[in-house]
Amino acid sequence: MRKISILHCDDDIFRAARDLSIELTSISLWNVDESENAISLMLNEDNLMLFLDMECNKTVEILNFASDMWLFNKKIKWILHGNDFNVTMSQLKELNINIDARILLVTPDSSGLNVNHFRAPALPRNGLFFIENVGNLTSSGKFKYENPFVVFDSNLHGTILRVAICVPKIPRGTTFIEYATQLIIDNHFSISRSAYQLVKIYSEIFNFQIHLIRVSEYGMLRPNSAQWNGLVGMIQNRFVDFGAQSFILAKTRVPVMDSGFSVIKYRQFFVFCHPEHTTMQKSAFLMPLSSEVWLSILLIAISTVIVLVILQIFEKQLSLKENQIFIFINVVGILAQQGLSFDAFKSIKSRIIIIFFLFMSLISFQFYSASIVGSLLTPAPRTITTIKSLYESNMKIIMDDHPSSKIIFKLVTDPDLVKLYETRIKGKEVFVPVREGIDQMKNERKALLTYVDENADLFKKSLTHAQLERLQTIPIFPQDHRALLVMPLVKGAPFNELIRQGNLRLTENGMKKFILDKFNAKLAEKSVKSFDPAVVDFARTAQIFYTLMIGIVLSFIVLVLEIILKRVRK
């Protein structure tokens, strides 16, 4: 059932509405100047047609509430009745109105009531609006339909607009237009190229032609000057109309240019195939011991010393004399599996030393077996996972020939990244196309600095499954770093509002979500990226210590019993 709510402030004007009887329609009347519930009724209503008298005292309050709650959308069909078209338009320009809003604006004219379809191509306040005339309701009650027309002139009538695009390097044997349109612009897996794709859509909507102009860099502020170079400089000096390029709108650029919509997230990574064997990997024999293990070893050592001291006291009391060299030779012979001397078991010290040596041998065997079995069952630890470890490795750095690659290190503050740039990159920069960089990266020990998101598809097509498993990425900014990319426009140009609103209109229709989903594709990486430093903790060696301590205690008890037995026999 369709619901119609009439918000009014004059009962005489709308008294006739009470007598309306429309099938499958529910009509409710609200005096907005007297009722407190007039605003709340709009919150949870679907398929609602709402008639609002623009001359009521609380009209502005209702409009602001609807704007703040984003109620100007496709769920509610608005019919706004005002006495003056210009006044009503000025009120609507201050509101948040969605592109799918359904608004009819009814105003009086000389022949009756004029009905216009009001629509907005963007969400922000103070936006641009399109007005389409639906028809005219004459004083005799007849409605005359008109052909819709757009009051705002959105037709640029074939105007040629100069559009700049950043292309740092052009391969030999090809022109800028060929390279830009075939190898760059037509590659839709790119933030730069998708911006131009949108520009081509705008040219069809607003009827303008495109003249491409090449620039080699985004642009930096000249030292001790208010002038910029690169793309920003051309926009500042009005050599181009706008850039079909997406880059960060820094605060310093705001005074010299306008901006379109945000495109994607800004993420640059070092990408490389992690070496299967690196000099930074640690031997299993050199794995550090935890504090609990060290305490256990200390306990065993102290226990051994105490036992030896006690036995030495017993030896003096029993007048037992043993050759220390004989004991040592027996112990070495037993451990070397060269035979077992029966006399060795009569030596109290031999038993204790043998147990201690067996314990150390057992630990060594545990390390050895863990190293062999671990190398067979688990992948080798990835040691190059941070900027610092990349700096300490012997990998060479190459960079995508994207315009931002030339200036990106001027924006970083991380000390490890600054050190990497100063010692390994500065003065010997190597800029290569993305495809060539991927080929070098997979065949040599090189790390490629590039936009992972926009080139994810190219990586997946160029690398084998084994190479993708070895793929490692290191961000030059924190993982949660996000910066909005915008389309640069000339400051104050007459067509800027048209292009900006066109951008927003397209993105609200799903274009932006499509771009974000496409550019946030994740590269396939091995499930095990890296390991924390391996540590031998007490949990891994507890059974060894328990067995050793039990052996020492039992052996000591047996030795004491033997001593007592010898003494009794005497």
Which candidate, 199, 212, 246, places its Cα nearest to that of 506? Answer: 199
Report the alpha-carbon distance of residue 361 to residue 228 in Å, rounded: 71
Residues of the chain with CATH 3.40.190.10: 155-266+482-534, 267-281+383-481
Distance (Å, rounded) from C-alpha 402 to C-alpha 187?
Answer: 14
Give pLDDT, residue 291.
74
Q: Counting Cβ atoms within 10 Å, is residue 388 exposed (0-12), middle (13-18) or buried (19+)? A: middle
- Give the residue from 396, 403, 360, 383 showing the smallest Cα distance to 548: 360
Distance CA 400, CA 561 (A): 80
Backbone angles phi, psi at 306, to 5 degrees: -60, -45
3-class DSSP state of 530: coil
What tens-digit pLDDT sequence spans the chain (570 residues)?
556 677 767 665 555 555 544 444 566 777 777 666 666 666 666 667 788 888 888 888 888 888 777 777 767 788 888 888 888 887 777 777 765 577 888 888 877 888 887 766 443 444 456 677 777 777 776 666 554 333 344 667 778 889 888 877 777 788 888 777 765 554 444 445 556 767 777 787 777 888 989 888 888 888 888 888 888 899 998 899 888 877 777 777 878 888 766 555 556 788 888 887 544 444 444 456 677 777 777 777 777 667 666 666 665 665 555 555 555 555 554 444 444 444 544 555 666 666 666 666 666 666 555 555 555 555 556 778 888 888 888 889 999 887 677 777 877 778 888 899 988 888 888 888 888 888 898 877 899 998 776 677 778 788 888 888 888 888 887 654 555 567 788 887 767 766 766 666 665 555 545 444 544 445 544 444 444 445 556 776 676 677 767 766 776 677 677 667 777 776
* pLDDT confidence of residue 432: 87
Phi, psi of 520, rounded to the nearest 5 degrees: -95, 15
Residues 184-239 pLDDT 10s: 554 444 445 556 767 777 787 777 888 989 888 888 888 888 888 888 899 998 89
Helix (H, G, I), strand (E, B) or coil at 163: strand
Region 155-266+482-534: CATH code = 3.40.190.10
Percent helix, strand, coil in the chain (nearest 5)?
Answer: 45, 20, 35
Q: Start-end ranges of CATH 3.40.50.2300 in the chain?
A: 2-145
Outline where 378-431 has alpha helix (H).
387-392, 415-420
Q: What sections of 25-136 are H helices per DSSP?
A: 59-68, 85-92
Contacts of 60 (CB under 8 A, 6+ apart): 91
The third-level CATH classification (topology) of the domain covering 267-281+383-481 is: D-Maltodextrin-Binding Protein; domain 2 (3.40.190)
* Residues facing residue 25 across a β-bridge: 2
- Residue 197 · residue 210 · CB < 8 Å: no
Backbone angles phi, psi at 279, to 5 degrees: -70, -10
DSSP secondary-structure letter at 541?
A: H
Q: What is the distance between the alpha carbons of residues 83 and 80, in angstroms, rounded to a whole number?
A: 10
Which residue type is seen at 6? Answer: I
| 2-145 placed in CATH 3.40.50.2300 | yes
Q: How far apart (Å, rounded) are the C-alpha atoms in residues 356 and 363?
A: 11
| Predicted pLDDT at 447 | 92
- Rounded to an integer, what distance in angstroms lies between the CA atom of residue 301 and that of residue 21? 101
Q: What is the pLDDT of residue 158?
A: 78
Strand ranges in 292-402 using DSSP code E only, listed in sequence order: 396-400
Name the nearest CA neighbour of 169 among 160, 153, 180.
180
